[in-house]
Structure 1
Amino acid sequence: MTSHAIRHVRVTPIAFRDPPLLNAAGIHEPWALRSIIEIETDSGLVGINESYGDLPMLEAMAKAAPALTGLSPWALNDMDTRVTALVTPRQTASEFQGTQISLAPGTHVSKTVAKVISAFEVAMMDLQGQLANAPVVDLLGGAARESVPFSAYLFYKYAEHIETPYAPDPWGETLAPEQLVAQARRMIDAYGFKSIKLKAGALPPEQEVAGLLALAKAFPGAPLRIDPNANWSVSTSLKAVEQLRGVLEYYEDPCPGLEGMAEVAKACEVPLATNMVVTDLKEFRRNAEMGCPVKIVLSDHHYWGGLRATQRLSLMCETFGLGLSMHSNSHLGISLTAMTHLAASVPHLSYACDTHYPWQDDEVVQGGRLKFEAGGLRVPTAPGLGVRIDPEALARLHDNYLRTDIRNRDDLAQMRKYDASFTGAQPRY
């Protein structure tokens, strides 16, 4: 009988071009870091995944990878146990708080175990699908929808990076309302998105409010969201939402902390969403104990602990009457495909998902860039994830990683190249 036990785990760090996108913490660096995970069995089957590529994550995966040797691809619970026993944070949460500004818990040391479990789980489920001749969505219970909707994800941005290591991106500068509308129109024309999200917290609030009002005028009836990434005070959050009365579908992380969000919720008719203050089930419980000031949880399987963990979150959201959608950061097709399988398997998906994918122009999967249809991605029906690695593309993106000296994302340090006085202190407004 052929053995399908795991014999090897290979993790390859990659880097790809990232535009000069502005956010509450500063500005994106010119290279985004990811890792490509390949888990090979004795029979030669290979399961794949994509995850974070910062140095602490690479070190954590390297530490845990040998524990998978000999496991069956179906032994997800054993994998969870082994990873949890081996991977411990290098810093305490309090120590980490002082080292960088975090827009999302994906960078937080407290999520290390969950991130490694997720990184291996998806690759093992890709193997399971190949063995069962079934797509991952079927392993998760089957598809509740044939296509997963995504939202246009708009950013304020500069025309090009300082000390640009490559040609400027084709999107150009976006700082004024008319430029924001042009960006949205271009993205919607290209991908067919039905809803629009604005990454805010980068410019003075009155400018960002003006931008959203311009979008509302240009795209009447389109669901609109704004995400200041906790860079506004409670008073600023309330002033802004009053100016946006009747415009917003939901209001994402306007101010810091669950207590601050609760203050805003008391005086705000628009439902509050988060990917910053409800990031695990302990925080979910705290939100519930406070009467659920956060009404929409934006999950991310990369730091929630994987596909199965997000399905458990979906059940909790349904039980407590909360909405559910999904957060994104700079990613390529393997990550986006895993997200699509997961979102398709969750009947309770309440809103179109986020994706940074239109901002990336490279790819690591065979066949090149994934194709959106009417703002959504069709759920793959091939076994496993339904995508395979392009070896030449992987080698090229790994070479990018070797050539850059970036090993940890640091939007604050990058922004100080433009403005030496920038502190990134939050809330800024």
Structure 2
Amino acid sequence: MNARSDLTITDVRLTPILVADPPLLNTQGVHQPYTPRLIVEVVTAGGVTGVGETYGDSKYLALATPLAEVLPGRQVGDVNGLHQLAVLVCGDSPETTGADAVDAGGLRGVQTADKLRLSIVSAFEVACLDALGKALGLPVHALLGGKVRDAVDYSAYLFYRWSEHPRGAGEFDDWGAAVDPAGIVAQARRFARDYGFASFKLKGGVFAPGEEIAAVRALAEAFPGQPLRLDPNGAWSVETSLQVAEELADVLEYLEDPASTTARMAEVAAGTDVPLATNMCVTTFAEIPEAFARGAVQVVLCDHHYWGGLRNTRELAAICRTYGVGLSMHSNTHLGISLAAMTHVAAVVPNLDYACDSHYPWQTEDVITKRLEFKDGRLAVSDLPGLGVELDRERLALLHRRWLDDDGTMRERDDAAAMRVAEPGWVAPPVPRW
């Protein structure tokens, strides 16, 4: 068997799982006790297996299945062909869900089938690059052009949260509740102590703006001079956004998605000098021209899931660099495979202007044999072949069994439904909320 035939894909395995998620609050509601993820494995004729990870709701699994069926027989290095192949087998894009729509599973704004497809392609691309790197003895960052940094800075991701899920559901953790400024500061102190994080992002849009201003002020007092961010996921009006920006202008590194839609963000940007960041109004290449032309955002929070993979993320970074727009990295509930992929691509872009987000410290479960460890708020970039992680098959099987045993209520991420367990009749608030 020659080298080329060794790199032929012979099998693709899709494993939907449910992983424990804490009762973290956002403007849509609260995280469910378990959240769905999809693990993708690409196997080559040479016996190498590459892994990828993405969202696991049924709409993602439905798109991933036909793509997995047509990949065997193709070269694992043919990542250029993944996007065209996905379009062929996954169908055309329907209309968007509305200009003010917010996808509760990702809080990422308007959703289309194109965006869903990109989130699936990203997992296949990562799995292929992981397999190719293992076969060639090269880390993924080398396949992307080579690292420009040996470690990647990450930021503490702070949440308002309950001490436990309603009715005792889910898995226990010892973080306790955080529903006021004191609770947020205590949470931040633990993140700084345990992980060495030196910048802090608060998920807002949960309480009235005045309460969240007080929480950021308390953080500024507890961590003087350290970077702070606030993200209400588009929950505010233009007027409210400008008021908050004015009151926190002296302490915010940036304000993330204070208002929904590019038009509203442009209005806010025109009225404040506080940089505005987004992972909601700019999540595809097609959304870039209007947002950049109108000066609606000064920082794009890239996410390889949204953008269709690591190579597209690298291209996005080049565009941001060209137009003088800052770059950081968005995070949603994810495991070690995605964090490893995030770190590899973050290592190769010269213009990583801000510490990246990561939910990873909140996740108590994983599917890799050794958890990735933050030291001094950073992750070392692995030089091992591929992503540098190994799949824990026993753990994968256990989390898949949880998915199989579920009655269907946890297979779709729905923060509003989770909130209704505690507050019957809860409906996700309209945008803007305040």
Q: TM-score, normalised by structure 1?
A: 0.96
String of CA shifts for 1:55-107, please: whole Å, max 9, x gaps.
Answer: 01011000111221111111112222211211126753238987964611596
The CA deviation at 1:212 is 0.4
Q: Which residue of 2 aligns with 1:330?
A: 333
Q: Matches of 2:9 and 2:37 in 1, distance apart?
A: 23
Q: Which residue of 2 aligns with 1:140?
A: 144
String of CA shifts for 1:391-416, please: whole Å, max 9, x gaps.
Answer: 11111111221232312111011112
RMSD between aligned residues: 1.7
Is contact 1:91–1:109 with CA below 8 Å preserved after alignment? yes
Q: Which residue of 1 aligns with 2:158?
A: 154
Q: Which residue of 1 aligns with 2:289?
A: 285
Query: Relative to 1, partners in 2 of residues 1:205 and 1:119: Cα closer, same or farther, differing over 3 Å?
Result: same
Q: Which runs of 5+ in 1 are unaligned?
A: none
Q: Which residue of 2 aligns with 1:428?
A: 433
Between 57-66 and 107-116, the greater mean CA deviation after superposition: 107-116
Between 107-116 and 8-17, the greater mean CA deviation after superposition: 107-116
Q: Which residue of 1 aligns with 2:382?
A: 380
Q: Which runs of 5+ in 2 are unaligned?
A: none
Query: Which residue, 102, 109, 112 being the options, matches 2:116?
Result: 112
Q: Which residue of 1 aligns with 2:303?
A: 300
Q: Which residue of 2 aligns with 1:83?
A: 86
SS at match of 2:168: coil
Is contact 1:23–1:202 with CA below 8 Å preserved after alignment? yes
Query: Which residue, 13, 17, 31 being the options, matches 2:16?
Result: 13
Q: Which residue of 2 aligns with 1:203?
A: 207
Query: Which residue, 52, 57, 60 being the options, matches 2:55?
Result: 52
Is contact 1:105–1:111 with CA below 8 Å preserved after alignment? no
State the AA in 2 paired with 1:370: L
String of CA shifts for 1:211-231, please: whole Å, max 9, x gaps.
Answer: 000000000011000000000
String of CA shifts for 1:269-312, please: whole Å, max 9, x gaps.
Answer: 1110000001111111111222x220100010011010010111
Q: Which residue of 2 aligns with 1:358?
A: 361
Q: Matches of 1:400 and 1:164 in 2, distance apart?
A: 17
Is contact 1:67–1:83 with CA below 8 Å preserved after alignment? no
Q: Which residue of 2 aligns with 1:272?
A: 276
SS at match of 1:198: strand
Is contact 2:328–2:354 with CA below 8 Å preserved after alignment? yes
Q: Which residue of 1 aligns with 2:396?
A: 394
State the AA in 1 paired with 2:137: N
Query: Which residue, 161, 164, 187 being the options, matches 1:183?
Result: 187
State the AA in 1 paired with 2:275: P
SS at match of 2:13: strand
SS at match of 1:51: strand
State the AA in 2 paired with 1:59: A
Q: Matches of 1:396 and 1:96 in 2, distance apart?
A: 40
Query: Relative to 1, partners in 2 of residues 1:108 and 1:162: Cα closer, same or farther, differing over 3 Å?
Result: farther
The CA deviation at 1:117 is 1.6
Query: Relative to 1, partners in 2 of residues 1:304 and 1:418: Cα closer, same or farther, differing over 3 Å?
Result: same
String of CA shifts for 1:25-61, please: whole Å, max 9, x gaps.
Answer: 1110010111111001122111111111110101100
Is contact 1:194–1:222 with CA below 8 Å preserved after alignment? yes
String of CA shifts for 1:12-31, please: whole Å, max 9, x gaps.
Answer: 01111101100011110010
SS at match of 1:94: coil
Q: Matches of 1:270 and 1:79 in 2, distance apart?
A: 39
SS at match of 2:305: helix
Q: Matches of 2:426 and 2:51 in 1, distance apart?
A: 40
State the AA in 1 paired with 2:116: T
Query: Relative to 1, partners in 2 of residues 1:246 and 1:95: Cα closer, same or farther, differing over 3 Å?
Result: closer
String of CA shifts for 1:377-397, please: whole Å, max 9, x gaps.
Answer: 000111011111011111111
Query: Which residue, 27, 31, 38 being the options, matches 1:24?
Result: 27
SS at match of 2:298: strand
State the AA in 1 paired with 2:297: V
Is contact 1:87–1:112 with CA below 8 Å preserved after alignment? no
SS at match of 2:315: helix
SS at match of 1:416: helix
Q: Matches of 2:53 and 2:323 in 1, distance apart?
A: 31
Is contact 1:105–1:303 with CA below 8 Å preserved after alignment? no
What percent of counterpart residues are identical? 46
Alignment map for 1:410-429 (pairs within 5 Å): 410-424=414-428, 425-429=430-434
The CA deviation at 1:114 is 1.1
Is contact 1:20–1:27 with CA below 8 Å preserved after alignment? yes
Q: Which residue of 1 aligns with 2:372?
A: 370
Q: Matches of 2:111 and 2:123 in 1, distance apart?
A: 14
SS at match of 1:114: helix
Q: Which residue of 1 aligns with 2:196?
A: 192
Q: TM-score, normalised by structure 2?
A: 0.95
The CA deviation at 1:164 is 2.4
State the AA in 2 paired with 1:416: R
Is contact 1:16–1:362 with CA below 8 Å preserved after alignment? yes
| 1:222 maps onto 2:245 in alignment | no
The CA deviation at 1:247 is 0.6
The CA deviation at 1:319 is 0.4
Between 86-95 and 383-392, the greater mean CA deviation after superposition: 86-95
